[in-house]
Structure 1
Amino acid sequence: MKHSAIAGLFIAGALLTSPVFAADKDLCAGNLQIIKDFETSQPALSENTDDNIKAAREKAEMAQKAGNDKECVAITSNVVTKIQTRNPENK
């Protein structure tokens, strides 16, 4: 009885974690799009800000290509937060 209950928990856990990976992938792609849109819509960025955003975007894109969606989300979420702090109307 204990073994079937434990097996059931593992199966339920596996089923519940699958959408999380899909969510990370979608969030990564969505955040990258927000960053790209910001870069093209803000021509008057300082060179330092522009370089920082570009470097973060490139790093996130490399993580995405490597299949590391969690790292991509971590990088892009940080940049999106800074973008929203700079331009509150972009929320």
Structure 2
Amino acid sequence: MKHSAIAGLFIAGALLTSPVFAADKDLCAGNLQTIKDFVTSQPSIPETSMNNVKEAQKKAEDAQAAGNDKDCVEVTSSLITKMQIRNPTRN
């Protein structure tokens, strides 16, 4: 009985953590798309700012390619926050 309870806990834990990873993957992809849309729609941004955005975008894409969705989400979320501060009229 004790062993089956422990096995059940491990299985439940695995099932509960799976959606978290899927959510990170989706959030990473969605954030990258938001950044790509921003880059294409904001041609008047100063070159140094645009370079910073593209550098962060590259870092996030590299993290995504490596399967590190958590780092991708951290980088893209930070970048989107900065973009919203600079341009509060965009969502």
**Structures share a fold, TM > 0.5?**
yes
Identity of aligned residues (%): 71
TM-score by length of 2: 0.92
The count of aligned residue pairs is 91
TM-score by length of 1: 0.92
Q: Measure how far apart 1:66 and its partner are.
A: 1.1
Q: Measure how far apart 1:17 and its partner are.
A: 0.7
2 CA distance for matches of 1:56 and 1:5?
45
Q: Measure how far apart 1:75 and its partner are.
A: 0.6
**C-alpha offsets along residues 26-84 of structure 1, whole Å, 9 cap, x if unaligned?**
10010001101111111111111101000000111111111111111111011011111
In the TM superposition, what are the counterparts of 1:12-91 in structure 2 within 5 Å? 12-91=12-91
Q: Secondary structure at the match of 1:90?
A: coil
Q: Which runs of 5+ in 1 are unaligned?
A: none
2 CA distance for matches of 1:37 and 1:7?
46
Q: Which runs of 5+ in 2 are unaligned?
A: none
2 CA distance for matches of 1:85 and 1:36?
17
Q: Measure how far apart 1:4 and its partner are.
A: 2.1
